[in-house]
Every structure is written in C-alpha cells, then in structure tokens.
Copies of this chain bind each other. A is one copy, B any other.
Amino acid sequence: MNAELSELRDSARQVLAAEGLAAPEDKTWPLALDLGWLLVAVPEAQGGLGQGLAGACAFHAEMGRSLCAAPYLPAMLAMEAAIHAGREDWIERLGASGFVTAPLVDPTLTITDGGIVAGMASAVPSADRASHVLLGSEAGDCVALVALQQAGIDARHRETWDTTRRLFDLRFDNVAGDPSLVLARGNDAHVLSRRLATHRDFALAADAVGGAATALEMTVEYLKTRRQFGRPLALFQALKHRCADLKARIAAAEALLADSLVRVGTEVDSERAEALGKAAKSFAVSAYAAVAEEMLQLHGGIGMTAEHACHLFLKRALLDEQLGRCTSYELDVADTLLGAG
C-alpha cells in the first residue's frame, strides 16, 4: 500500500470509528461523498485518486471493519462502469452527489437491442435512494444504467437479518431503457461484466477481511476483560489457541487478498483477475463467517443479546457468504484447475 493510500485509509478509519460500529447509512453515506471515497479508483486524469482496485479494496475493508451501512459497494460498481465506459459526466456526478446502485448478485434479466429491460435484479442495496441502477444482462451482452423513477419497475424491500444492508428486489416489466445510458454492448459488455464481477468479489473479500479483523480484536479484548473462575478468560489456553487459529486464518485471507490485488494490477478486466477475485472472495468470506461464529461462542451469553455487537458481525458475514455468486466459487476455482466438469 502506498503512502498516500495508507494515509487516506487511516483517515477513513478514524472517521468511521468516530461514527461507531454499524453507523446508519444517512450518517455515513454523506461522509463517503464529502471525503471523496468514491474517487479512490478513478484515474487521476479523470479527477480521481488513481488508486485503482487495490485502493478501492482498502476502503471496502474499512466498510467491513466498521460494519458501515453506506451503500459504498454498489456505488463503486457504478463508478467502475463509468470509468470503463469513459463517461466523465457520470464519473463526476457519481463522485460528487449522485447515487447509483447495483445488484450484488448476478441479475436474471434481458436487455434488448432497443434497450427494453425485463426480468429481476436481486440484492440491490438502498435502491430507494438511488437515481439509477447499473444492470448487466444475463447473457452478458449489455451493461446499462437504468433510471429507477419510471413505470414498470417494482422495487420491493427485502429485510435481511443483516441490518447493515438494505437490499431490494427490482422487477423490470419491459422497461424502456435510455440508449444514452448503455455503457457497453457486445464483447465490450462481456469485458465490463467481468470487470464488475472482479470488483464485486474483491470488495466482498475486503469487507470480510475488515470485518473479521474487528471481530477478532473485540473478542480478544472481551476475553482479556471478562473473568470466570477467578481468572480472565484470556488466560485459558483452549481459548487462546482458538483465537490464534482465527488470527492465522484472517492473516491468510489478508495476505491472499493483497497478493491477488498485486497480481491483478491494472488488468482489472482480465479473466485472470476474475478468477483471482473469486478465490479471494471464497477464502475471505468463509474466514469471516468462522471468526464471527467463534466470536459469538467466545462471548457466551452476552453475545446472544441484541445489545451487543456480536450478532452484527455474524449476520453481515453470513450475508457476505451469499452475495456475489456464493458457494459456486469453489467449483469455479476447481474449473480453473481442472477444466469445467
């Protein structure tokens, strides 16, 4: 991580820490906009910080660390699409004030040549606050922005156990798209789709790594404080060893994420980048879930109360596991090694 990025990251960490864990979206989203966090991956030539995907992931990790409720990830996907398409108008709009959301799982929809959108996009964060949604057709041959305030779109809030995300199902009943908002078609759309999937997977990996780190820190802190049988729990070797295993697992996920980002470099739309993203996501989210599960167990009864933060980590970790393309990642990794089954 270069010095500029690490400074930016540290200040984001401070700002988010000041807001507290799982601070609401209406407090953290304006911060993200005001402090320019959406510009981190935008090339310098286009007025951004030029920190690329690795820079973006440093921020995604901070979102994970603080269980941030702001819809930073979908907004960054929209920004990634605008960068790819060279749409400086949208880069500016997204960086300054606008919010465009995007589904965090692959949508099942068609976009005709004429731009008619039909089908379903699930797991779309904060869709009620967005002006547009970024959609890719299931066939991968079109990526477009679609305005949300129009007829034929049914948005339904789906309450999740994870309260730090607000997901929507969007149903499109032959909605007329705006041709000027088509960002890519044909092969270019395939490349952009790959780029978006890569960003999404790395972002989820970063979210997981950040969340897991905080979860373990809080757990260790709790064990140092909490006494049972006249001793701090942190003195019990069985618990120490479990924490050590979790630490090693988080460190491995962090290392894999960092290493994979170095390997990707600027080739963010390559097949290799997509494969690396899948592996990093798969490894990181299972580490996160394991840490969050142990966090709850090691906190004992207090972790079972809604007042304590344990469950927020657990619920976010469990949702992270199901975002992206969920469990099929492992099979995809095997495909890379063995060829398709």
A residues near B (Cβ < 8 Å) are: 236-238, 240-241
Give the residues in chain B near A237, CB-CB below 8 Å: 236-238
Complex Cα gap A240–B241 (Å): 12
Complex Cα gap A83–B238 (Å): 52
Mostly helix, strand, loop or mixed at chain A's interface?
Answer: helix
Most chain B CB atoms below 10 A, which of A236, A237, A240: A237
The 6 A-B residue pairs whose C-beta atoms are closest, nearest first, are A238-B241, A237-B237, A237-B238, A238-B238, A236-B237, A238-B240
Complex Cα gap A142–B306 (Å): 64
Give the residues in chain B near A240, CB-CB below 8 Å: 238
List 6 A–B pairs whose Cβ atoms lie within 8 Å, in order of A's numbering: A236-B237, A237-B237, A237-B238, A238-B238, A238-B240, A238-B241
Give the residues in chain B near A236, CB-CB below 8 Å: 237
Q: Which residue of B lies closest to A242 (CB)?
A: B238
Give the residues in chain B near A238, CB-CB below 8 Å: 237-238, 240-241
Complex Cα gap A236–B237 (Å): 7
Complex Cα gap A237–B233 (Å): 12
Q: Which residue of B lies closest to A241 (CB)?
A: B238
Complex Cα gap A98–B237 (Å): 56
Complex Cα gap A236–B236 (Å): 9
In the complex, what's the smallest C-beta–C-beta distance from A203 to chain B, in angstroms? 36
Complex Cα gap A78–B236 (Å): 53
Complex Cα gap A238–B237 (Å): 5
Complex Cα gap A241–B238 (Å): 7
In the complex, what's the smallest C-beta–C-beta distance from A294 to chain B, in angstroms? 14
In the complex, what's the smallest C-beta–C-beta distance from A62 to chain B, in angstroms? 33
Give the residues in chain B near A241, CB-CB below 8 Å: 238
In the complex, what's the smallest C-beta–C-beta distance from A238 to chain B, in angstroms? 4
Q: Which residue of B lies closest to A244 (CB)?
A: B238
Complex Cα gap A241–B240 (Å): 12
In the complex, what's the smallest C-beta–C-beta distance from A231 to chain B, in angstroms? 11
Complex Cα gap A116–B237 (Å): 64
In the complex, what's the smallest C-beta–C-beta distance from A338 to chain B, in angstroms? 18
In the complex, what's the smallest C-beta–C-beta distance from A136 to chain B, in angstroms? 33
In the complex, what's the smallest C-beta–C-beta distance from A310 to chain B, in angstroms? 22
Q: Which residue of B lies closest to A235 (CB)?
A: B237
Complex Cα gap A241–B236 (Å): 11
Q: Which residue of B lies closest to A240 (CB)?
A: B238
Complex Cα gap A236–B241 (Å): 11
Q: Which residue of B lies closest to A236 (CB)?
A: B237
In the complex, what's the smallest C-beta–C-beta distance from A232 to chain B, in angstroms? 14
Complex Cα gap A31–B240 (Å): 50
In the complex, what's the smallest C-beta–C-beta distance from A87 to chain B, in angstroms? 48
In the complex, what's the smallest C-beta–C-beta distance from A341 to chain B, in angstroms? 15
Complex Cα gap A236–B235 (Å): 11
In the complex, what's the smallest C-beta–C-beta distance from A39 to chain B, in angstroms? 48
In the complex, what's the smallest C-beta–C-beta distance from A47 to chain B, in angstroms? 54
Complex Cα gap A238–B238 (Å): 4
